[in-house]
Structure 1
Amino acid sequence: MEGVREGELRERLLRPILRELKDGARDQVVVGGLENLIQNLAKPFPRLQSLFQGYGGKTPEERKEILLEAIRFLKDGLTAPPPRAQAASLPSPSRRLTPQDPAHLLVPPQSRKKLAELSLHTVRDLLHYYPRRYEDRRTLPGVRFLEDGQKATLSVKVLSKELVKTPKKGMQLVQVRAQDAWGFRITLVWFNQTWVLSQIQEGETLIVTGRVQKRNGVQLYVEHFENEGTESLSTGRIVPIYPAKEGIGQAFLRRTVHRALETALPLPDPLEPYREEHRLLPYSEALRQIHFPEDEEALKKALLRLKFDEYVLLELKALLDAGGLVLGRSFKVEETWTETFKKTLPFPLTRAQERVMAEIAQDMQSPRQMARLLQGDVGSGKTVVAAYALYLAALNGAQGALMAPTEILAKQHYQNLTRYLFPLGVRVELLLGSMTPKEREGAIERLLSGEAQVAVGTHALIQEGVGFKDLGLAVVDEEHRFGVLQRRALLKLAKVPPDVLVMSATPIPRSLALTLYGDLEVSILDEMPPGRKPVKTKVLPHRLRLQAYAFAREEVRKGHQVFVVAPAIEESEELDLKAATALYEELKGLLPEVRMALLHGRMPAREKDSVMEAFRKGEFDLLVSTTVVEVGVDIPRASLIIVENAERFGLAQLHQLRGRVGRGGLEGYAILIAGEASQKTLKRLKVLEESGDGFYIAEMDLKLRGPGELRGTRQSGYPELKLGDLSQDTEVIEQARALAKRILEMDPDLSLPQHQALKEELRAQAERIGFREVI
């Protein structure tokens, strides 16, 4: 055996033995036990193999003696200590760096462009440039242990290289013959990547990853490779794999991040006062372990710590952006008032409604401003709960306002609130942009005088000239249809910060709601009133789509109405319009006897309202629409909805769409036509056949598609999570949110000394994502 190769093997064996000693000699460092590893890898060292015979059956004390003897033996054969991750080939900066320092100080001038390409501008950017995955290279396999078809990472030494032209035109192979530390040979293959030849030198060691093929010897079709060089950041450890671009190597990124850690740490811990309480790893240690973990347990703890930081910063941003924890007014609530309200209703309340009403009553009694999100599936009874809150405000001598995104929804809310509140002596006023000047003036006068106790309207409520005698409660329906700014404009009409209730019929997983609406407490109506029938849902492949329209014809003959939703095409209203118009023309030919209308997002708001109102009155039998079909609009005779190319929609959106039908006591049907009939697509859509629970469907949507698709529920400007997983992290988010609220209660502007590091992190993150400064 060559001296160099023997030294490499001694180093490789030494690492797991040292870890085993550090781990307490439990024989759990290596899968299958340390004895198996030594027997497989230490064939050149019979003495070592003999030493470890029966190792697993010995006591921890006996094992420690064996480990110490093995360490002495291996170190005696080395001329230098085993290399550690020092990246010593790069000179140290002349001073310690701060997170704000430029990242290019850590690399040679010729490499600065690489950092800029990855948007790594500061040392902080490097510290938080987390790996996308990891490879366990503590004990890389030898060539003799590879199996055909296996994907493997191994360390090999280059023997020779050549470019091979093949009979197939335009196809060239780079073939590199190499061997592992035990002399077993392998051929590395690259297809049409001739540049590889200039990157590889004979005699150097490569780390290669690819698919094994055992044909004419052992071959590896290389997917990724790196030059190991002399540094040990790429072998003998759990190795980070970073997001990168072509021409930017993993070894370069590891060295640069490692130098950032070495020159900038330790850093002040943003959560030091709360670290022990939440059992969190120290901040600097977490940064080290996320990049270069000692073992799986250390990586797990680092992930949890830095994930927790992400959520705390996110929740602090949301709370501070909303004005912090605001003192409002304290309403009186008497039990008899609640009983009176319930007795006047023409139906019994669900347990979920009673629970949420109690949460709202508790909030309204608090001296702090109520800021609550009321989530409920279509038909779960959110309007009744809102009516209760408005009733409590009225009994306290204050006024309430409910703002809806469209006139048709505002009219519907006005009718329902009048039905619930008129018997209790509460006057409800309607204010719309389409009113005549005389009607508008009369409505505003009644609000200013206090004669009207509740106002219902669209954005007309926040237009110039509108005012209230004493606005105490603002209810905002489907806020994502207007936005946070409109909510704030409504709140400005009050003398004292009013209580706020935001309603949404879009089921959002609790974890997502807590991050998107971080400034709001979350209440969920997770129970449907008795008698509400689930919509029967069927997934059809595209080849059977005409069956859906045959069924539509039958429903129309019964006097029922039908929605047909055109496919969603990217994010383009123009393309959506073309799709809807083409479908409308097709259906006019297919169903000539059916009265049809077309609704799309490019219509003026008044025209959209007019079409929906005509459909509601029964002037049309079938409505072809893009996804602008209004949330919450009641079309009592609508019994069927057909969604074309349903695979282009999220599950939660499809569930929302099918909520348009079966609202007037009729049996409701939804037919989802799959334009692409792969097993994966059909399996996803069949979730809707199996369940009518909007929150379960939203959770499945989150797991299948991720949060990005669901974030249309709020304005952009919130950072993408680097480590957080909203489908798994509900408990972590709730803990982070509770801590963020506690910190701001104690220190509203983060001015206390113990919060300076946290304040700095918050500012740095706000600057990094272009978020407006809130402190």
Structure 2
Amino acid sequence: MGSVREGELKERLLRPLLRELKDGARDRVVVGGLESLVENLARPFPEVRRLFQGYGAKTPEARKGVLEAAIRLLQDGLPPEKPQSPPPPRLALEDPAHHLAPPQSRKKLSELGLHTVRDVLQYYPRRYEDRRTLPGVRFLEDGKKATLQVKVLSKELIKTPKKGMQVVQVKAQDAWGWRLTLVWFNQPWVLSQVEEGATLIVTGRVQRRGGVQLFVEHFEDEGTESLSTGRIVPIYPAKEGISQAFLRRTVHRALELALPLQDPLGPYREAEGLADYSEALTHIHFPEDEEALKRALLRLKFDEYLLLELKALLDAGGLVLGRSFRVEEAWVETFKKALPFPLTRAQARVMEEIAKDMQSPRQMARLLQGDVGSGKTVVAAFALFLAAQNGAQGALMAPTEILARQHFQNLTRYLFPLGVRVELLLGSMSPKEKEAAIGRLAAGEAQVAVGTHALIQEGVAFRDLGLAVVDEEHRFGVLQRRALLKMAQVPPDVLVMSATPIPRSLALTLYGDLEVSVLDEMPPGRTPVKTKVLPHRLRLQAYAFAREEVKKGHQVFVVAPAIEENEELDLKAAKSLYEELKALLPEVRMALLHGKLPAREKEAVMEAFRQGSFDLLVSTTVIEVGVDIPKATLIIVENAERFGLAQLHQLRGRVGRGGLEGYALFIAGEASGKTLKRLKVLEESTDGFYIAEMDLKLRGPGELRGTRQSGYPELRLGDLAEDTGIIERARALAKRILEADPDLSRPEHQALKAELRAQAERIGFREVI
């Protein structure tokens, strides 16, 4: 063997030996073990082969001695080293990603949206393949993808009758002598890269027809240092023409040139029990084992949620100092005794949370979640009562006039006996009525204002606004809430109410600036709505039942998922359904309600239905959340499979609110087993929070009501169905950090601040620090 060939062999041997030494001599860098590799490659070097006899059975310490001796032997006879070129410069996170790829490949990175080194490091794998132990040919399953180690026996290029089609076929065998054929289509260059007698690692799809074939997607020489075999291998999101091997090389180079990085959680990491940031980035891409991957995933999820919580808190103005209200036990008891019913345990618990918040010198910012009928208005009345007892005013803003009037009636019922005057302010009121109401608010004669957007119109002023209550905020948006808060001289306490149950994990991220209180208990006497899922073939039975309910003097909602027919979707549109039902139920008085109607016309239709002018209302999903129609006992939802479970639960909350028994009939237009199983959850449970959790697991956060429209960022690693505990920890840390450093100006927070700015830019949020 010539000296050139000998030098090449020494270099090929040295690479895995040096890597094995760096890895702690754990005999994991080469599939099949290092002893087998040396046996094959080191035939010209008998001294090295002798050193490695029994290598796999030795302790790591003994293996290190073998490695060091072998490396010395191989390096002694190598030709003099060429002058070392200077090491490549270290890269910063904001450096262009094209530093990581040759010019001809740089376009691939931009196609994936990878423009900086940070982008590449945070381009996380979508899954992993365990390629540490490779199967033999006899264990391959037809049609499945497999990775295995084989020895090349022969190779040939076959020209097929099909024009332009060339097939490379390589006969090979595994370590046990089982044979197979490796196949490449239109890749004749493979012939020059595959040598007879070479050992390859190949990945592809298996076909068992008259022998075993593997249609190769990726292959590597077993003797080279590999990112695609002999390890847990990352699989990245990719486009056509961008190989996994290219992505792995690019990410590996980014890790080599950018790490170690300053840890954004440096002062807090150990106390939180989290992995080092650079270690986590390394192991999320190239994990040593399952435990390393688990630790990396936990650390990077935590960072993801921490940045979300910091962003939400900073976007809301940080942790704001407000006013401290006095709360006396006698006041609490007075309020409870004045109620015409006993409180539930959940209401009592949430009232304690609110009282504690209002006593704090920090502004209360709390989300009150509760299913329809759980008693949120009573809790809001309690908070407004405490504000009034302290000489301050309160305001409750609702999205529609119907809801505002309903709140006005309920709050007057609870608060008037306690000496608290409630004022109503609506856009539809006459100028004289508005002027009088505004005057009483400005003079402090009215302690509580209830209204719509009219509360934040020009000319409205409060003598001393101390508490703002916002109902169904997703119908307004953050800007309207802020406009109401600006009407106070000192930052008022804030209570946001929602009758849309969403999982705690989603609430903590969507409403990251708010504490979360949950009314998870219904008052006694509230009868659950009886629910039935019907296949489409039985839908006429639903309308026969509707006819019977109307005969009893009851009212019916019918909900369709679209306004007009869509040729591509077999949906019952509201307009055509309205016409169909007029023919089917000619004796029933009907109205039509949909989102394209002007707001004033929608409210007029809804008010007429509430007053009993119609028996049946055909509607899209614009039916008001929280509106009481005491005589409504039945809701029928067409194409129920088009709705989320939580939305269907919300819809059935429209009936059975006046003491009469309520019914919900969900008609499945597409009745596959999977669809019916999902809808059956509504037959089994009336717990809105359980249903919301199931909805989250089945559909993901992006589809749940309001989240797409709220600018909610797509999580890269987080799983809201599983991560509630991590989110709560991240939220608590975000608060501690901002309490100590409200604008993240301290030196130890600069890396965290840089990550926050990078994320805000990625998801389109305005910069807040």
Instruction: Report the TM-score, using the length of structure 1 for normalisation.
Output: 0.87
Q: 2:99 aligns with which of 84, 102, 105?
A: 105
**d(CA) in 2 for partners of 1:265, 1:615:** 66
Partner of 1:436: 430
Partners of 2:562 and 2:571 within 8 A in 1: no
Q: Is the CA contact (8 Å cut-off) linking 1:163 and 1:175 kept in structure 2?
A: yes
Conserved 8 A contact 1:143-1:186? yes
Which of 672, 683, 689 is residue 683 of structure 2 equivalent to?
689
Match of 2:585 among 582, 591, 594: 591
State how far apart, in whole Å, the 1-side matches of 2:673 and 2:115 are.
44
Secondary structure of residue in 2 paired with 1:272:
coil
Residues in 1 aligned to 2:565 and 2:732: alpha-carbon distance in whole angstroms: 36
Q: Which of 721, 734, 755 is the equivalent residue of 1:761?
A: 755
Q: Tell me what 1:669 maps to.
A: 663
What is aligned with 2:723? 729
Unmatched segments (≥5 aa) in structure 2: 1-5, 44-48, 76-84
Do residues 354 (structure 1) and 348 (structure 2) align?
A: yes
**2:248 maps to amino acid:** R
Query: How far does residue 645 in structure 1 lie from its aligned partner after superposition?
Result: 1.1
Calculate percent identity across the aligned residue pairs.
Answer: 77
Quote the Cα distance in structure 2 between the aligned partners of 1:76 and 1:181. 28
Counterpart in the other structure of 2:463? 469
For residues 80 and 630 of structure 1, what CA distance do their matches in structure 2 show?
A: 80
Aligned counterpart, 1:177 = 170
AA at the equivalent of 1:246: E
Are 1:375 and 1:522, in contact at CA under 8 Å, matched by a contact in 2?
A: yes
Following TM superposition, by how much is the alpha carbon of 1:186 offset from its aligned partner in structure 2, in angstroms? 2.3
**Structure 2: how far apart are the matches of 1:531 and 1:334?**
31
Amino acid across the alignment from 2:135: P
1:533 counterpart SS class: coil
The corresponding residue for 2:498 is 504
The answer to whether 1:626 aligns with 2:617 is: no
Structure 2 residue aligned with 1:743:
737
Q: Please point out which of 320, 342, 346 is paired with 2:314.
A: 320
Q: In 2, distance between residues paired with 1:677 and 1:170?
A: 47
Amino acid of the structure 2 residue aligned with 1:177: V
* Cα displacement string for residues 541-567 of structure 1 (whole angstroms, at most 9, x for unaligned residues): 112211111111111111111111112
Q: What is the DSSP-based 3-state SS (H/G/I as helix, E as strand, rest coil) of the residue aligned with 1:409?
A: helix
Give the direction of change, closer, same or farther, for the CA distance of 1:198–1:513 in structure 2 (3 Å limit): farther
1:400 maps to a residue whose letter is G
- CA separation of 1:173 and 1:281: change in aligned 2, threshold 3 A: same
Match of 1:419 among 413, 422, 425: 413
Conserved in 1, the CA contact under 8 Å of 2:565 and 2:576? no
Separation in 2 of the partners of 1:206 and 1:41? 12
Q: Map residues 59-98 of structure 1 onto 2, 5 A cutoff.
A: 64=58, 68=62, 94-98=88-92
Cα distance, 1:427 vs structure 2 = 0.7
Q: CA deviation at 1:614?
A: 0.7
CA distance, structure 1, for counterparts of residue 180 and residue 542 of structure 2: 59
Whether the aligned pair in 1 keeps the contact of 2:172 and 2:180 (CA below 8 Å) is: yes
1:122 — aligned with what?
A: 116
1:502-541 Cα offsets, whole Å, 9 max, x none, are: 0000101001100110100000000000011111111111
3-state SS of 1:276 partner: helix
Would you say the 8 A contact 1:577–1:626 is kept in 2? Answer: no
Equivalence for 1:203? 194
* Mapping 1:131-530, distance limit 5 Å: 131-148=125-142, 150-156=144-150, 159-160=154-155, 176-182=169-175, 184-188=178-182, 203=194, 208-220=202-214, 224-225=217-218, 230-530=224-524
User: How far apart are 1:492 and its partner, in Å?
Assistant: 0.4
1:59 maps to which residue? Answer: none
User: What is the CA distance between 1:684 and its match in structure 2?
Assistant: 0.8
Change (3 A) 1:264 1:12: closer
Q: Secondary structure in 1 aligned to 2:387?
A: helix
Q: Any idea what SS the aligned residue of 1:464 has?
A: coil
Shift of 1:592: 1.6
CA RMSD across the alignment = 3.7
The residue type equivalent to 2:414 in the other structure is Y
Native 8 Å contact 1:228 1:234 kept in 2? no
Cα separation, partners in 2 of 1:460 and 1:282, compared to 1, 3 Å = same
Q: Which digits, 9 at most, give the CA deviation of each residue in 1:632-661, with x for residues without a partner?
A: 111111111111111111111111111111
Query: Which amino acid is the alignment partner of residue 273 of structure 2?
Result: R
In structure 2, the residue matched to 1:84 is none
Q: CA deviation at 1:593?
A: 1.6
Distance in structure 1 (CA, Å) of the matches to 2:596 and 2:449: 29
1:414-466 alpha-carbon deviations (Å, 9 max, x no partner): 11111111111111111111111111111111110111111111111111111
Check the 8 A contact 2:565/2:572 in 1, yes or no.
no
- Change in Cα spacing, 1:388 to 1:73, as seen in structure 2 (3 Å) is closer
CA contact (8 A) 1:42 1:48 kept: no
Aligned 8 A contact 1:448 1:469 in 2:
yes
Change (3 A) 1:711 1:125: farther
Q: For structure 1, which runs of at least 5 residues remain unmatched after alignment?
A: 24-28, 56-62, 82-90
Distance in 2 (CA, whole Å) between partners of 1:571 and 1:283 is 53
Determine which of 631, 636, 646 is the counterpart of 1:637: 631
Residues 468 and 494, structure 1, Cα contact 8 Å, conserved in 2: yes
Contact 2:702 2:708 in 1 (8 A): no
What letter corresponds to residue 203 of structure 1 in structure 2?
V
Deviation for aligned residue 1:137: 1.1
Give 2:529's match in structure 1, choosing from 524, 535, 553.
535
Q: Is the 8 A contact 1:563 1:623 kept in 2?
A: yes
Aligned to 2:79: none
Distance 1:70 1:485, change over 3 A: closer
Matched-pair contact (CA < 8 Å) for 2:97–2:116: yes
* Residue 492 to residue 130, structure 1, CA distance change in 2 (3 Å): same
Moved more, 385-394 or 713-722: 713-722
Tell me if 1:700 matches 2:694. Answer: yes
SS at match of 2:313: helix
Q: Secondary structure at the match of 2:270?
A: coil
Question: 382-391 or 619-628: which moved more?
Answer: 619-628
Offset at 1:390? 0.4
User: Residues 255 and 37 (structure 1 numbering): CA distance in 2 closer, same or farther, change over 3 Å?
Assistant: closer
Q: Deviations over 1:556-598 (max 9, x none)?
A: 11111111111259999x9999921111112112222211111
Q: Give a deviation string over 1:82-141, Cα, whole Å, max 9, x none.
A: xxxxxxxxx987411100100001111111110110010000101111111111111222
Counterpart contact for 1:51–1:66, Cα < 8 Å: no
Aligned to 1:549, the other structure's residue is in SS state helix
CA distance in 1, matches of 2:134, 2:65: 20
| Alpha-carbon separation, structure 2, partners of 1:75 and 1:686 | 69
Query: Shift in Å at residue 209 of structure 1?
Result: 4.4
* Displacement of 1:498: 0.2
User: 1:151 Cα deviation (Å)?
Assistant: 4.0
**Which amino acid in the other structure matches residue 284 of structure 1?**
S
Match of residue 58 from structure 1? none
Partner residue, 2:704: 710
Note closer, same or farther for the CA distance 1:637–1:678 as it changes in structure 2 (3 Å cut): same
Residue type of the alignment partner of 1:443: A
What amino acid is the match of 1:633?
V
- Distance (Å, rounded) in 1 between the aligned partners of 2:757 and 2:516: 27
State whether residues 350 and 519 of structure 2, in contact with CA within 8 Å, keep that contact through their aligned partners in structure 1: yes
**Would the aligned equivalents of 1:568 and 1:648 in 2 still touch at CA under 8 Å?**
no
State the AA in 2 paired with 1:490: L
Aligned residue pairs total 740
TM superposition shift of 1:178: 4.5
Aligned-residue offset at 1:154: 2.7
Show the counterpart of 1:88.
none
Label 1:454 to 1:690 Cα distance change in 2 as closer, same or farther (>3 A): same
Contact 1:15 1:236 in 2 (8 A): no
- Structure 1 position 719, deviation (Å): 2.5
Equivalent in 555, 563, 583 of residue 557 of structure 2: 563
